[in-house]
Amino acid sequence: MALDKNGIAQRIAQELKDGYYVNLGIGIPTLVANYIPDGMEVTLQSENGLLGIGPFPEKGKADPDLINAGKQTVTATSGASFFDSALSFAMIRGGHIDLTVLGAFEVSEKGDIASWKIPGKLVKGMGGAMDLVASAKNIIVATTHTNRKGESKLLRKCTLPLTGVACVKRIVTDLAVLDIVEEGFKLIERAPGVTVEEIKNATEGFLFIDGDIPEMNI
Amino acid sequence: MALDKNGIAQRIAQELKDGYYVNLGIGIPTLVANYIPDGMEVTLQSENGLLGIGPFPEKGKADPDLINAGKQTVTATSGASFFDSALSFAMIRGGHIDLTVLGAFEVSEKGDIASWKIPGKLVKGMGGAMDLVASAKNIIVATTHTNRKGESKLLRKCTLPLTGVACVKRIVTDLAVLDIVEEGFKLIERAPGVTVEEIKNATEGFLFIDGDIPEMNI
Amino acid sequence: MNKIVKNAEEAIIGVSNGMTLMLGGFGLCGIPENSLKALAESGIKDLVCISNNAGIDDFGLGVLLRDRQLKKMIASYVGENKEFERQFLSGELEVELNPQGTLAERIRAGGAGIPAFFVPAGYGTEVAQGKEVREFNGKMHLLETALTADFAFVKAKYGDYSGNLIYNNTANNFNNMMASAGKITIAEVEELVPTGELDPNQIHTPGIFVQRIFKGTGYEKRIEFETVR
Amino acid sequence: MNKIVKNAEEAIIGVSNGMTLMLGGFGLCGIPENSLKALAESGIKDLVCISNNAGIDDFGLGVLLRDRQLKKMIASYVGENKEFERQFLSGELEVELNPQGTLAERIRAGGAGIPAFFVPAGYGTEVAQGKEVREFNGKMHLLETALTADFAFVKAKYGDYSGNLIYNNTANNFNNMMASAGKITIAEVEELVPTGELDPNQIHTPGIFVQRIFKGTGYEKRIEFETVR
């Protein structure tokens, strides 16, 4: 069965390692924070100037001077630090973030990503997404495999304006885990109960299948 | 009579204005701090990361973590701030320093300055001098008019390796105050008792004399 | 040398039609509320505003937008604002979108006297249009240029009479760099203390960058998305 | 994730012949004394050292110099050191002199992922040799490139278990940028406190930049020119 948003987040959390500094985008990526294994030290960076995002505040305790990049009120962990946007993006651009997780409208088999603009619709701006995808050491896209119309989001070529080129390393969808390799989308894992055939049908780009594909362990 | 070092510093202090941020080089320029008029607020910047240099410490109170760019122990004024070298040179390069005073081996009539290297002698390095002369809004050179051999330091062209080109605005020597103008060294003031003829003889570059030249008021 | 002005009305003296302004803040966090209000009341128009965001419809930069005081916005994210959308789509408002880190760095560069620098962000996207591309270490980069402003407006938690500033939590964001990039920088602070009361090791923005300072009043500090446990 | 190491000997594990190191400090102010001593005792050689200065004959970087551990120095001012002079003049030591602000910015750029940038310093001088020149705003500029290091050694007053650092007075200088530009950054601190004890608004170097940290011992903090009233 296809995963829900939380399932995708849960699977992505398996990519975390002790000591990682991680930037989580808005939407599904934010949910990854809920699945950090106990005892593992993962520090979350917020590009508006916070290293060490804590849980949302208790009711009545929201601090207007303490928000995340999605403009939600948050708290800071013990050991957090605050800084200006130039230093925040120095961390990002300088490759100091171990893992970036973000959403996407489309991903191409070359690892291109489109995530910020749909022609004809309102342009909101790219925010920090272009900086993140251009510089992160490891980029995982968290997305549904198809859009609301049932069309694949994993394409031969992106049709929408790009956020970055040849940058995505891994994609975790409701149906599968896939890596970008020379051949295209390499199928790594299937969601529990989802068949390779179903994944093939939902993938417009070239799906590279090498041997038996295990089910996700979630 | 030719001015001594303190006289040069005293004359340069007349260039200060209330609210100025000033960087003073090593040697004669450092002495300018002793002649800041009472009641005038002048903030001294030290390129190793201090805005607000105070007096030298009292005996026994020197702090090894508090030095100026000449590596001398200093104090910090009330209202001082400490920062890293990148921000310090952001202040300098960004044109936030109102006045830079530094010494020189040679100055040319085009405003070029040589101050850091004498071929055949030990190379110590340029430190912050090249950054300062390339970016300061207003640069005054404090120097003796001639070197120990009696040769002019105000030349048609510099003979030593340059620190910067076309950057010096004004020169205060033991004999005169001169501005760099299109024609060359424009004589602005004479040291008390020094004649135009004496200044002419001590200046190898083109000396531009326009009307009567007043004596310095010191 | 007195940097203290009485209030925002006095602080904005000299701002005139067609000028380029920088405005600190991320979303509504750390915005110079008092200065924004004074600018809105001033009626000054044809402004070019450099700000990461554009406020919301009835608060922050959104008010200047509503009253058609802006000619152009340089920003990275402008959602959350319907009037912005309308003016943008109708062509009344010129908009230049920058990757957020590039925007931050362009402002820092403006303050630091660095006219241009290379970054990887935006390569291969529409942001790259018209920009010089160069490869470094096997990776493509774009040449980006510095930004400065006639006036920069920033907001800090603490300030002293010499213009030294300390920000609070994530309300620092774009304020620190913008303070360095304004020909005239105006700081409004929640607490204005005599020179000497702030620890020199804790200053975020040294006073050299600040030309005018005042104690702001009536801070609303609106929250865009109050999220609780 | 434990970043704490016992001492300088443990901290320098992995440093090997021929590597590029950054060493914080200005003169003898804020230098990583413990790490420098361990490097001197290690006998590791052919090092490329990026440091504003070169220490004095019997202290700081001067000791590594004396023992011929350095192949190349990238610095801005190297006076105060007779052995440096000898090795430089004899050609044993390669030296690249940079304007101090350019050196600081190249290191910051290394940490911030900016491969190259333009500055006015050095135009028309021998520093400009071989560098691209370009005019911006009527002024000539040089293209300068980023610096990074295999290991960066920095010294702070306070540090916590997460690697957050706070410097003291002018002992910050090159340390803050260098912390960001090392593939592995080693911080030695005078006081090492549990995570959570430092104010998050006062951190100079966020822990993300620091891979190893230890409490240094026996700080001499020599003064080069003790000057009193």
Provide the mean pLDDT of chain B: 96
Q: Evaluate if residue D190 carries a pLDDT over 90.
A: yes
**φ, ψ (nearest 5 deg) of residue C188:** -110, 140
At D126 the pLDDT is: 96
At C103 the pLDDT is: 98
The predicted-structure confidence for C176-221, as pLDDT tens digits, reads as follows 999 999 999 999 999 999 999 999 999 999 999 999 999 999 999 9
pLDDT band (50, 70, 90) for residue C89: confident
Q: Which residues pair with A101 in a beta bridge?
A: A24, A140
At C1 the pLDDT is: 79
Residues of A with catalytic roles: 47
At B123 the pLDDT is: 81
Map tokens 């973000």 to a residue.
A102
Which residue in the set D114, D167, D202 is minimally distant from C119, CB to CB? D114
Count of domains observed in chain B: 1
Burial class of residue D59, CB neighbours in 10 A (0-12, 13-18, 19+): middle
Q: Which residues pair with B24 in a beta bridge?
A: B101
Closest CA to C94 of C49, C127, C130: C49
Provide the mean pLDDT of chain D: 96
Find chains touching chain C: ≥3 CB pairs under 8 Å. A, B, D
Establish if B204 belongs to a structural domain: yes
Which residue in the set B18, B79, B96 is minimally distant from C164, CB to CB? B79
Establish if B155 belongs to a structural domain: yes
HEC per residue, chain C: CCCECCCHHHHCCCCCCCCEEEECCECCECCCHHHHHHHHHHCCCCEEEECCCCCECCECHHHHHHCCCEEEEEECCCCCCHHHHHHHHHCCCEEEECCHHHHHHHHHHHHHCCCEEEECCCCCCHHHCCCCEEEECCEEEEEEECCCEEEEEEEEEEEECCCCEECCHHHCECHHHHHHHEEEEEEEEEEEECCCCCCCCCCCECHHHCCEEEECCCCCCCCCECCCC
Chain D residue with CA closest to C204: the answer is D202
- State whether A81 and D206 contact (CB < 8 Å): yes
Chain B residue with CA closest to D125: the answer is B162
The predicted-structure confidence for A130-184, as pLDDT tens digits, reads as follows 999 999 889 999 999 999 999 999 999 999 999 999 999 999 999 999 999 999 9
Structure-model confidence comparison of residues D84 and C105, the more confident one: C105
State the smallest CA–CA distance between residue C138 and chain A in angstroms. 13
Establish if A166 belongs to a structural domain: yes
Contact D39, D62 (CB under 8 A): no
At C179 the pLDDT is: 98
Chain D residue with CA closest to B46: the answer is D170
Establish if A65 belongs to a structural domain: no
At C85 the pLDDT is: 83
At D80 the pLDDT is: 73
Q: How many CB atoms lie within 10 A of CB A151?
A: 12
pLDDT band (50, 70, 90) for residue A123: confident
Q: Evaluate if residue A1 carries a pLDDT over 90.
A: no
- D144 contacts in chain B (CB < 8 Å): none
- A82 contacts in chain C (CB < 8 Å): 167, 169-170, 172
Structure-block tokens of residue D85: 């002079």
- How many residues are present in chain D? 229
Show Cβ contacts of residue A13 under 8 Å, excluding neighbours closer than 6 positions: A32, A35, A36, A37
HEC per residue, A68-116: CCCCEECCEEEEEEECEHHHHHHHHHCCCCCEEEECCCEEECCCCEECC
What range defines the domain where residue A134 resides?
A: 5-35+95-208
Q: What is the CATH number of the domain that holds A179?
A: 3.40.1080.10
Give percent helix, percent strand, percent coil of chain D, each to the nearest 5.
25, 30, 45
DSSP A146: B
Q: What is the dihedral angle through the alpha carbons of C64, C28, A27, A90, rounded to the nearest 10 degrees?
A: 100
How many Cβ contacts (< 8 angstroms) between chains A and D?
60
Provide the mean pLDDT of chain A: 96
| Interface with C, mutate which of D140, D201, D205 (most C CBs under 10 A) | D201
- Angstrom CA distances, B57 to B72, C223, D11, D221, stand at 10, 48, 36, 17
Which residue in the set D101, D122, D228 is minimally distant from B89, CB to CB? D101
| Pairwise CA distance, residues C30 & C108, whole Å | 18
At A103 the pLDDT is: 96
Mean pLDDT, residues C60-71 taken together: 94
As a whole number of Å, the end-to-end CA separation of chain C is: 49
At A15 the pLDDT is: 97
Which residue in the set D112, D195, D206 is minimally distant from A83, CB to CB? D206
Structure-block tokens of residue C86: 């309308």
- C127 contacts in chain A (CB < 8 Å): 126, 130
In this structure, which amino acid lies at residue D4?
I
At D83 the pLDDT is: 85
At C81 the pLDDT is: 80
The predicted-structure confidence for B68-92, as pLDDT tens digits, reads as follows 999 999 999 999 999 999 999 999 9
State the smallest CA–CA distance between residue A80 and chain D in angstroms. 6
H-helix or E-strand containing A135? Answer: helix A129-135
- D112 contacts in chain C (CB < 8 Å): 105
- A62 contacts in chain C (CB < 8 Å): 223, 226-228
- D139 contacts in chain C (CB < 8 Å): 115
Contact A48, C170 (CB under 8 A): yes
State the smallest CA–CA distance between residue D101 and chain A in angstroms. 18
Establish if A43 belongs to a structural domain: no
Q: Evaluate if residue B122 carries a pLDDT over 80.
A: no
Q: Evaluate if residue A89 carries a pLDDT over 80.
A: yes
Q: Evaluate if residue A122 carries a pLDDT over 80.
A: no
Q: DSSP 3-state assignment of D111?
A: helix
Counting CB pairs under 8 A, whether chains B and A reach 3 or more, is no
Using DSSP bridges, classify how beta strands D133-136 and D116-119 pair: parallel, antiparallel or unpaired: unpaired
Which residue in the set B59, B65, B134 is minimally distant from D170, CB to CB? B65
| Interface with C, mutate which of B21, B41, B81, B89 (most C CBs under 10 A) | B81
At B1 the pLDDT is: 82
Q: Evaluate if residue C80 carries a pLDDT over 80.
A: no
The predicted-structure confidence for A24-48, as pLDDT tens digits, reads as follows 998 899 999 999 999 999 999 999 9
Contact D155, D31 (CB under 8 A): yes
Which residue in the set B81, B90, B97 is minimally distant from C180, CB to CB? B90
At D139 the pLDDT is: 96
Could you give the angle at the alpha carbon of B79 between the alpha carbons of B74 and B81, nearest 5°? 65
Contact A197, A176 (CB under 8 A): no
pLDDT band (50, 70, 90) for residue C84: confident
| Pairwise CA distance, residues D175 & D182, whole Å | 11
pLDDT band (50, 70, 90) for residue A78: very high
Establish if B139 belongs to a structural domain: yes
Establish if A74 belongs to a structural domain: no
Establish if B47 belongs to a structural domain: no
Find chains touching chain A: ≥3 CB pairs under 8 Å. C, D
Closest CA to D169 of B82, A109, A90: B82
In this predicted complex, what is the ipTM?
0.97
H-helix or E-strand containing D9? Answer: helix D8-11
Closest CA to B71 of A31, D55, C187: D55
Residues of B with catalytic roles: 47
What DSSP line would sit under D15-68, residue for residue? Answer: --TT-EEEE--BTTBT--HHHHHHHHHHT--SEEEE-SS--BTTBTHHHHHHTT
- State whether B52 and C180 contact (CB < 8 Å): no
Q: Does A23 touch chain D (CB under 8 A)?
A: no
Burial class of residue D144, CB neighbours in 10 A (0-12, 13-18, 19+): buried
Contact B33, B101 (CB under 8 A): no
The predicted-structure confidence for B103-113, as pLDDT tens digits, reads as follows 999 999 999 99
State the smallest CA–CA distance between residue A101 and chain D in angstroms. 18
At D85 the pLDDT is: 83
Q: Does C138 touch chain D (CB under 8 A)?
A: no
Mean pLDDT, residues C12-26 taken together: 98
Is the sign of the CA dihedral C21, C26, C32, C36 positive or negative? positive
Is the sign of the CA dihedral D131, D134, D135, D141 positive or negative? negative
In this structure, which amino acid lies at residue A210?
D
